[in-house]
Amino acid sequence: MKMKLAEIAKAINVKNDITAWQDVEVSSVAFDSRALDGGALFVPLSGQQDGHEFVASAFEHGAAASLWASDHEIINQNQPLLVVDDPLTALQELGRYYLHKINPIVVAVTGSNGKTTTKDMIASILSTQMNVTKTFENFNNHIGVPVTLLNMESNTEAVVVEMGMDHFGELDDLSQLVTPDFAVITMIGEAHIEFFGSRDKIADAKMEIVNGLKEDGTLIFNGDEPLLTERAEKIEQESIDFGRQLNNNLYATSVTTTAYSLEFVVNEWPEVTFQVPMIGEYNVTNALAALSVGKLLRVPVKQMKAALSSPDITRNRTEWINGRAGEKILSDVYNSNPTAVKEVLNAFSQAETNGKRIVVLGDMLELGENSNEFHRELASSFDTSKFDEVFLLGHHMKALYDALEDSYHEHVHYFEADDKSSMTAELISLVTKDDLVAIKASHGLHLETVLDGLTR
């Protein structure tokens, strides 16, 4: 983005006179005063700390200007401050304004699992034909989405926006903000069931993504999920489905798994074999979602095949990494829920090795009052002939430890959530160059520190 303060002030209804600074140009937005580019517009947000306390630091780090809430007394009158009712609302309004100014095709992606990978695959496919911006890492909420929009270059032709949620109304707000041309729902799982109570309610919340869908827009959804199929039938816009079942618009006619990749054929292009450098057949479904978008935007199948063979995937999403002992580590430490864990375990059990398969799991968060039961039920996915060692971390994983203790004996290891250092040390002492290690947990467990210990 490149905008002068005069244009920004008009877009977000600034309350003070900024004539002296109207020609100051900003080139990005930031809400962390320590990590901003020169020329940034700083957005002081209220959280555990008041962002206004860091405005001075933002200017010291090169900020060109800052928003300022009208209920805060201005301390320095000589800095380019834009006074608004609420900095967060102003950030969202500026994102909406800039989106309409650039006017790209908007693809919005949500789902209980797979939304980040699907977002990355869609962006890779569309990038073969046009200039594309996509959500950076996990910038998928009421703050991250407008930041994504404001990070678009002026030549952006398509923006792929990931949307997360854990309460009703969140996807409604985000969808109304970006008004997508295409809305993609990857699947319905148990993620955030603590807040919704049932998968039925989760489906209702996910369908909020169509609330801002343009009249001539298209919903692209997982047709293997009856909860989505029955809801999609009620919307006015066009909808198409993808999945593994043969009644979907797009489905895989065959799937072949290798040690570190997937190969599959799709009904629409029976002469083409697609390959993605990932394991887990659930990633075929993610690829089908991306292919659905590409097909609607008339990306040639040859380009889609090439894009999927080397997609730019966000780090720590079912990613193979080399460990310090020479072992292969399947890293998926950003998010976790029962469906995702079972899928990863199934895929990991098929990865070939001359050594041990070692599973490392941390708590799955936001599963509500039945959380221990959800963790205990994972025991059905464990077989001593497939997994040699199991490491479990966190309060709720104690339920899985109790369920596995009789079958795994000394080969199942349990650690409290704050004892990652002991877990890491024991793993390092156990792992050899021929082993495979799978690591998965909700981000709140911060198993990336264990991953760092194994790879450093």
Q: What is the 3-state secondary structure (H, E, C) of 320-340?
A: EEECCCCCEEEEECCCCCHHH
Q: Give whole-number Cα distances, 368 to 193, 196, 361, 374, 375, in Å.
A: 6, 9, 18, 10, 12
Please state, in angstroms and rounded to a whole number, the distance separating the CA atoms of residues 149 and 103: 11
Q: Give whole-number Cα distances, 433 to 107, 278, 324, 328, in Å.
A: 42, 21, 8, 8
Please state, in angstroms and rounded to a whole number, the distance separating the CA atoms of residues 301 and 96: 33
The set of long-range contacts for 196-205, using a CB threshold of 8 Å and a minimum separation of 24, is: 196/168, 197/368, 199/227, 200/227, 202/112, 203/227, 203/228, 203/231, 204/168, 204/231, 205/165, 205/167, 205/168, 205/170, 205/171
152 SS3 class: coil
Which tokens is 48 given?
Answer: 């555990």
Which tokens is 305 given?
Answer: 């095949």
111 is in an annotated binding site: yes
- Distance, first Cα to last Cα, the chain: 37
116 is in an annotated binding site: yes
Burial 197-207 (b: 16+ CB within 10 A, else e): eeeeebbebbb
10 is in an annotated binding site: no
Going by C-alpha positions, the residue among 299, 288, 318, 331 that lies closest to residue 449 is 331
- β-partners of residue 250 are 242
Q: Give whole-number Cα distances, 68 to 148, 164, 383, in Å.
A: 21, 27, 57
258 is in an annotated binding site: no
- β-partners of residue 414 are 392
> What backbone phi and psi angles, to 5 degrees, belong to 421?
-65, -40
386 is in an annotated binding site: no
CA torsion through residues 321, 324, 325, 331, sign? negative
Going by C-alpha positions, the residue among 325, 345, 312, 363 that lies closest to residue 135 is 312
> Known binding site: residues?
111-117
> Known binding site for ATP: residues?
111-117
